[in-house]
Amino acid sequence: MERTYLMVKPDGVQRNLAGEIISRFEKRGFKIIGLKMFKITRDLAEKHYGEHVGKPFFEPLVDFITSGPVVAMVIEGKNAISAAREMMGATDPLKAAPGTIRNSFGIDMGRNVIHGSDSPASAAREIGLFFKEEELVVYNRDL
Ligand code: CMP
């Protein structure tokens, strides 16, 4: 079992796409173990996107991700990191495969509606950055 960090970005929340996006992960069989809505502070955004410091899109990216609420979640399941990335599609919605989340809803490279961790190391780092251990719910889904 693997965990990954996913975040519906401010454009997705503003366009009422959060439910649809969460639903795709539920229907795919992933277990949501953490879920919350909040506005990211500049400090947290700069930490989260630390690997992009100095790139031309860094400041606009921080401005955008702090511009409105996000819906953050931690999902758990088999190959969660790579499966979620496949479901999201390429960063650039124009290059995202048909049917993926970014292909279906993304507008451009910045307004690409969702972020997902790209590796086990990023997943561990991002889950720790956005969720406290006690906010992750351990439960059995079997009815
Ligand atoms: P995300 O998966 O959240 O990770 C970094 C974000 O930077 C990316 O999605 C894009 O929304 C944004 N971005 C903007 N411009 C670029 C670019 N030229 N290359 C990569 N990411 C970009």
- According to DSSP, the residues that pair with 38 across neighbouring strands are 70
How confident is the model over 44-67, as a mean pLDDT? 98
pLDDT at 76: 97
DSSP element (H, E) containing 101: helix 101-105
Q: Is the pLDDT of residue 142 over 90?
A: no
Residue 53 Cβ inside 6 Å of ligand 1? The answer reads: no
Contact indicator for 49, 62 with CB cutoff of 8 Å = yes
| Local structure of residue 113 (DSSP, 8 states) | S
Is 3 annotated as belonging to a binding site?
Answer: no
* DSSP for 5-59, written as a single string: EEEE-HHHHHTT-HHHHHHHHHHTTPEEEEEEEEPPPHHHHHHHTGGGTTSTTHH
Q: Which residue has the tokens 């979640």?
A: 73
Could you tell me the end-to-end alpha-carbon distance of the chain, in angstroms, rounded to an integer?
A: 19
Q: Which of 115, 116, 127, 131 is catalytic?
A: 115
Q: Is 70 helix (H, G, I), strand (E, B) or coil?
A: strand
pLDDT at 143: 60
**C-alpha dihedral sign at 115, 8, 130, 44:** positive
Q: Is the pLDDT of residue 31 over 70?
A: yes
ipTM for the predicted complex comes to 0.94
Residue 120 Cβ inside 6 Å of ligand 1? The answer reads: no
Q: Is 85 helix (H, G, I), strand (E, B) or coil?
A: helix
Residue 57 Cβ inside 6 Å of ligand 1? The answer reads: yes
Is residue 115 annotated as a catalytic residue, yes or no?
Answer: yes
